[in-house]
Structure 1
Amino acid sequence: MRLKLVSLLIILSGLSACSTTEKPTKNSDNFSNSANALKNQATSAQSIYLLAQNRQGADKIQLLYSARDAAINEKNWPLLEQIGSDLELTASVDQIQNRLYIAFAQKQQNKNKQALVILQSLDGQLIQPEHFAWHQFLTASIYASQNFPKKAAPYFFKASETAAKNNIDIPQLNESLWDNLKKLSSYALERFNRGAVIQQGWVNLALYYQVYANSGVELDQAINNWRRRYTGHPADSILPKKDAALTELAAIKIERLVVLFPQSGPNERLGDALRAGALAALDTKKIAETIFIDENLSTEEIAIQLEKIKPDFVIGPLLKANIDKLASAKTLIDTPVLHLNTLDGERISLQHYFFALNPEHEVEQALEHFLAMGYQKPMLLAPNNANGQRLVDYFNLQWQRYSETKAQIGLYNDKKDMPNTITSLLEVDKSKERIKTVKALFKQEVENETRSRGDIDVIYILGDAIETRLIKPYLDVNVSTFADRIPLYASSKSHSKQIDRTDKGDLDGLYFTELPWMLNSQLKQSNLRYQYNTLWPDQADISQRLFAMAYDAVLVLHDIRQLSIIPGKQFNGLSGKLSVNSNGYIERTLDWAQYANRRIKPVKLKTQRPIPLFMQSAGEIHTIN
């Protein structure tokens, strides 16, 4: 058997070079020395491959094998795929092994759909345990890379069981499996707590980490019990040392907190709103000392103050420019930090987290709802500026992962441009032209009514509160009266507590996402909201949102390490349900609300994680909670 998946081991284990002894096949004894001589003249995978094109028979196969190994070492995935396709035309080649190589090359190029088709075509043919183990690992890796840990888990388990039983070494299998399990909720893990002892061992270990996350002593005892119960289990290799495990899951103890907000310059008003939110949270949080520093100070001045204070944690800065300058100077590299914005560059420390009121969170939440409802043809209306274009591009990029249809996009320049944009997208202008033509044919009065296009099944407005109040009436009068009403959705930009006091406009039926704080939707907020309204009755919407953000930023610190480690863990804040992704960014799930009878009511809307196209087309049926 000529199983050269050892080359995959080299790549996946991150080794730059490795030599191995391979068992020859029957045909390899007949290979001529001329192939080796030609191979030695080549300097790259491409040159070896070109040499193979001019040879025949065993020499060609041997050169293609050499080119394949070189392509893997060079990480030349397109060439690896091409070599596999060439070898597929040769009957004497191990076709199962070769198709695994092709699937691997496609996976490395993010051609997940094609790779899955190949892997699924091999079902029922995987007699050799090496073939089966690698097949399961590659399949699991594809699903895991698409953030479908529940779908990946069974394949990871089978790969682990087969590798353990047959002493097959697949580097990164244990680490990848463990990373995948950490993304599963305790409910999902319980459903996997069955089957072979290898699978149960993995699941129980993951459950221990979740159940005893807040108790280092109990976790340590649970791991010791696990080791006694699952002696020789492959998961033992990924267990951290005792001290590392306790440090990873322990809550951060904060005695001295530094807060970096704008206290001067044009953004001082924003800093005041943040300061109010932080102080309100500190009334409920026992932190011995909190020091506010102006983030607009020079890097040197901030560094000097931090050196004196030696804080346990830092919140801020707010402004991207200030985050960038402190990151470049590595001023905060040794300190846990919760930045109140995103970072354009690389995260410089695993102790650094990022919290921003990103509208992209809302766009993704709306998109997931649209797909859960089965909408096929969304129409987006957004201002023709940098922010509007950015959100439209983000929606399109995500939508294309899940649907073959294209969203209809309408970008308006100003309020005068809105009617033309809407009538053009809904093709009402064409209907009016047809009516005009018919009228010209008859002398008497012709009864008529414009028709709008019928394929648009949902409309998403990305304008601000004023723009939304102008757009909604245009949509009402331009959608055919005899057609079903098209559901209308908007982001939190459409909602303004200030404007709603005097004019909710004709927004009846409009759904929108919003911070819980702006909807007064949590009972625990009632007293805090009363105090806020008493102290700042006329605060702008942006100030109210920043207040909620800063309030959450203080209270989430205690849980932030566990949020970043434990899958499914959320913090219920004023700014939404907060979770932390693998890059240290806080993600938000907002509340849904609807305008009804000139009032705002909270609503629960259906949502679920959508299925990427490459998985849909593989002919699989998925249920994802």
Structure 2
Amino acid sequence: MPISRLLTSALLLSLLFTSLLTGCGQVVTRPAASKVEKLQQQADLLETNGDYQGAANLYLARARETVPPERDTLQLLAAGSLVRGGEPSRAASLLDGMTAEQLTDRNRTHYTLVRAAIALAEQRPDTALTLLKDVPTSGPFIADYRRLRAQARSQNSQYFQAARERILLDPLLTDPQAQQANRRATWEAVNSLTDQELQTLRTAPPPDIMGGWMELVELTRLYLQQPDALADVTPHWQQRYPGHPASGSFLEDLLGTMRAAGQPPAQIGVLLPLNGKLSGPAQAIRDGIIAAYYDTPEGGLKPQVRFYDSGDTPATALTAYQVAVTNGAQIVIGPLRKEALEGLANRLPLEVPVLGLNRLAVQTHVNPALYQFGLAPEDEAREVARLAWRRGHSRAVAFLPETSWGERVYGAFAAEWESLGGRIMEVQRYDPGKADHGPELKNLLNLDTSKSRHQKLTQTLGRKIAFEPRRRQDADFVFLAASPRQARLIRPQLKFYRASDLPVYATSRVYSGKPDSSKDADMNGIVFCDTPWILEQRANWDHLQQNINEFWPETAVRYARLYALGIDAYRLVPYLGKLDQGMFGAYHGVTGNLSLSGDGIINRTLRCAVFRKGLPVLLDLDTTDTQAAVTR
């Protein structure tokens, strides 16, 4: 029976927009005038029905009949409605005619809050945090101040700080629904912390509220497959943290979600092309599944796992699927080939759910029993775009190989970058078989244009003049698509062509996965995103990594990310139902923080690092980073 899809993403989207200056009247924006108050009640009703444009029009119609400061208040209320309705650009246009100096103190603070909300809607959390520094930390605006800061911290992946803000917000809320939504958001933030962060950041003893949230998340992960055991230990947790916000209805919902998700399947079928061109990657995924199976904690449930050769065609993969179902599989992992996955996607109905190990080329339809999970390079390119945007960049140049992989990666990066509001100033392609990329880099950096201007000036003046080539100044970073060998050549050439101060962002392919400070010294300063399996060291992974290195030493590094894919594919199976239940925003896997979208795609949030002294250093641990706050 297909696993239900009651998605966490719907909750997260609701929290993003409904919590931006929620209601714009419950805390921040209730002027004394009774007419405005009645108008606001009408607008709130429109927003409840999803008519944000109607609410904004209601405010604006009244604003045209009034004078400041009431007119300013109404325009700010209209802007808030537009932000919540997903139109931050229109909201910003309403603020263009305002200057903070001309507003009353109350409207000035409201103005700043709306600008911060617009920045968050445009994925500019650093801008929002800067704006919020000017907001008083007491008085009628404090709840919205805390809420917006929490959202900004979450957008910046600063989940510990986001949870802290949510905890401070909790006692300020009087509406039970708003309070429950805030507690769910607190849970989402704490649940986004890694296991290592949960251990190292919990420093205060009970009954510390933050510590209580962190311990509850740890218990939930420990008893993920044992909801009854979790119910048995929560009374002790409640004794340790009396009066904790998670007690009561939230804890009841959590336990109900755990139980509703059901037990993991008794049997898993795995479809992989164990012979042929993809046999190497397929065997690494298989061995990752085996390693995860034997790494199951004592007392954890171990389903039967049976492997099937999916062959080279969609037809053979479909046959393997049918055999697996006949043999009793309750869920199938695989296939790996995109064409085989497309063949299964077109089969309606699927007798048992499928956790595919690839991504459909075109999402033309959604099979409710199909989940798509893989290491798509497009995911990494989009992550890099979001990272560069969060760090304040706005104008990119792109350097990519003349290959289908290069075009795929660039296409994903460009689409995400431009959707955020970024601009691409130049794109150059290079031959990955060559070592000298001088001509292409000169074009990328406009050094050829600089030289041409010098030649024309020399001809005009009729004499030689001193000349220093100058690279383009309209770009603030390079998006680089390259292998380790190519990147080791390209980065020094960028420096040679006067771009040493231009930040470089890349996907995981830039890193071999094996630390080598000698070979990678030339890549210092390159920022890239990769799986936690590659970039992090966690105590609970040590034994697993040691086993893989011991049993498969020839392929442990070469196929490291594919071993990680196998590990997460196996471990994700019992979690799929819980992701569907709406309480669990992400599964913290070795391939990334995994979340489920409405079309059954498993999205990965990666860790990002920068090369320092030839070694990758996690960005949040890099004390020498000078590019974290670029002025846009």
Change (3 A) 1:219 1:486: same
Residue 189 of structure 2 aligns with an amino acid whose one-letter code is N
Contact 2:285 2:563 in 1 (8 A): yes
| 1-structure distance, mates of 2:83, 2:369 | 30
Residues 381-414 of structure 1 show CA distances to partners (whole Å, capped at 9, x for unaligned) of: 3234554344346567888999999887532378
Residue 184 of structure 1 aligns with an amino acid whose one-letter code is L
Instruction: Write the mapping of 1:230-241 to structure 2, written as runs, cut at 5 A.
Output: 230=241, 232-236=243-247, 237-239=249-251, 240=253
Instruction: Write the mapping of 1:96-175 to structure 2, written as runs, cut at 5 A.
Output: 96=109, 100=113, 103-104=116-117, 107-108=120-121, 110=123, 112=125, 115-124=128-137, 126-128=138-140, 131-163=141-173, 169-170=178-179, 172-175=181-184
Residues 196-254 of structure 1 show CA distances to partners (whole Å, capped at 9, x for unaligned) of: 8544443332343345557656533331222345455432332235464267697x455
2:306 aligned with 1:289, yes or no?
Answer: yes
| 2-structure distance, mates of 1:93, 1:245 | 45
2:271 aligned with 1:259, yes or no?
Answer: yes
Residues 464-496 of structure 1 show CA distances to partners (whole Å, capped at 9, x for unaligned) of: 699x49x9499769938x998999998786899
Residue 154 of structure 2 aligns with an amino acid whose one-letter code is A
SS in structure 2 at match of 1:269: coil
Contact 2:377 2:409 in 1 (8 A): no
2:357 aligned with 1:339, yes or no?
Answer: yes
Residue 123 of structure 1 aligns with an amino acid whose one-letter code is P
Residue 136 of structure 2 aligns with an amino acid whose one-letter code is D
Contact 2:287 2:566 in 1 (8 A): no
* 2:333 match: 315
* 2:230 match: 219
| 1-structure distance, mates of 2:384, 2:395 | 17
| 1-structure distance, mates of 2:276, 2:619 | 39
Instruction: Write the mapping of 1:69-80 to structure 2, written as runs, cut at 5 A.
Output: 71=81, 75=85, 77=87
Change (3 A) 1:397 1:173: same
| 2-structure distance, mates of 1:488, 1:69 | 37
* 1:3 match: none
Residue 184 of structure 1 deviates from its aligned partner by: 1.6
* 1:55 match: 65
2:281 aligned with 1:270, yes or no?
Answer: no
SS in structure 2 at match of 1:411: strand
| 2-structure distance, mates of 1:376, 1:13 | 27
Contact 1:396 1:407 in 2 (8 A): no
Change (3 A) 1:479 1:157: same
Contact 1:104 1:115 in 2 (8 A): yes
Note the residue ranges of structure 1 that are not aligned, 5 or more in a row. Answer: 1-7, 497-506, 534-543, 572-576, 595-601, 620-625
TM-score normalised by the chain length of structure 1: 0.61
Residue 157 of structure 1 deviates from its aligned partner by: 1.1
User: What is the percentage of aligned positions where both structures have the same residue?
Assistant: 14
SS in structure 1 at match of 2:617: coil
Change (3 A) 1:331 1:174: same
| 2-structure distance, mates of 1:278, 1:156 | 39
Residue 296 of structure 1 deviates from its aligned partner by: 0.5
* 1:28 match: 34
SS in structure 1 at match of 2:183: helix
Change (3 A) 1:608 1:282: closer
Contact 2:594 2:604 in 1 (8 A): yes
Residue 202 of structure 1 aligns with an amino acid whose one-letter code is W
| 1-structure distance, mates of 2:386, 2:68 | 54
Higher RCO (CA < 8 A, seq sep 6+) = 2
SS in structure 2 at match of 1:606: strand
Residues 327-386 of structure 1 show CA distances to partners (whole Å, capped at 9, x for unaligned) of: 3545448525142346653876698351225276489689989x99x9999975323455
* 1:12 match: 18
Change (3 A) 1:186 1:566: farther
Note the residue ranges of structure 2 that are not aligned, 5 or more in a row. Answer: 1-13, 47-52, 295-303, 513-518, 535-544
| 2-structure distance, mates of 1:400, 1:291 | 42
* 2:10 match: none
Work out which of the residue numbers 359, 362, 371 in structure 2 matches 1:352.
371
Work out which of the residue numbers 168, 185, 206 in structure 1 matches 2:217.
206
2:434 aligned with 1:422, yes or no?
Answer: no
Count of aligned pairs between the two proteins: 547
Change (3 A) 1:148 1:618: farther
Contact 1:382 1:463 in 2 (8 A): yes
2:194 aligned with 1:185, yes or no?
Answer: yes
SS in structure 2 at match of 1:352: strand
| 2-structure distance, mates of 1:378, 1:212 | 45
**Cα RMSD for the two superposed structures:** 6.7
| 2-structure distance, mates of 1:569, 1:344 | 27
| 1-structure distance, mates of 2:213, 2:38 | 49
Instruction: Write the mapping of 1:397-412 to structure 2, written as runs, cut at 5 A.
Output: 409-412=427-430
Contact 2:379 2:604 in 1 (8 A): no
Residue 119 of structure 1 aligns with an amino acid whose one-letter code is L
Residue 610 of structure 1 deviates from its aligned partner by: 9.8
Change (3 A) 1:614 1:178: farther
* Greater mean alpha carbon deviation, residues 585-594 or residues 406-415: 585-594
| 1-structure distance, mates of 2:105, 2:277 | 71
Residue 148 of structure 1 aligns with an amino acid whose one-letter code is Q
| 2-structure distance, mates of 1:215, 1:359 | 36
| 2-structure distance, mates of 1:206, 1:399 | 34
| 1-structure distance, mates of 2:16, 2:34 | 23
Bigger Rg over Cα: 1
Instruction: Write the mapping of 1:480-559 to structure 2, written as runs, cut at 5 A.
Output: 510-511=522-523, 528=551, 551-559=563-571
Work out which of the residue numbers 375, 380, 399 in structure 2 matches 1:381.
399
Instruction: Write the mapping of 1:597-608 to structure 2, written as runs, cut at 5 A.
Output: 604-608=615-619
Residue 184 of structure 2 aligns with an amino acid whose one-letter code is E
| 2-structure distance, mates of 1:313, 1:383 | 39
Change (3 A) 1:604 1:568: farther
Residue 274 of structure 1 deviates from its aligned partner by: 4.6
| 2-structure distance, mates of 1:67, 1:154 | 28
Residue 257 of structure 1 aligns with an amino acid whose one-letter code is G
| 2-structure distance, mates of 1:490, 1:31 | 51
* 2:258 match: 245
Residue 375 of structure 2 aligns with an amino acid whose one-letter code is A
2:591 aligned with 1:580, yes or no?
Answer: no
Residue 137 of structure 1 deviates from its aligned partner by: 1.6
Residue 410 of structure 1 aligns with an amino acid whose one-letter code is Q
Contact 1:96 1:122 in 2 (8 A): yes
| 2-structure distance, mates of 1:31, 1:253 | 55
TM-score normalised by the chain length of structure 2: 0.61
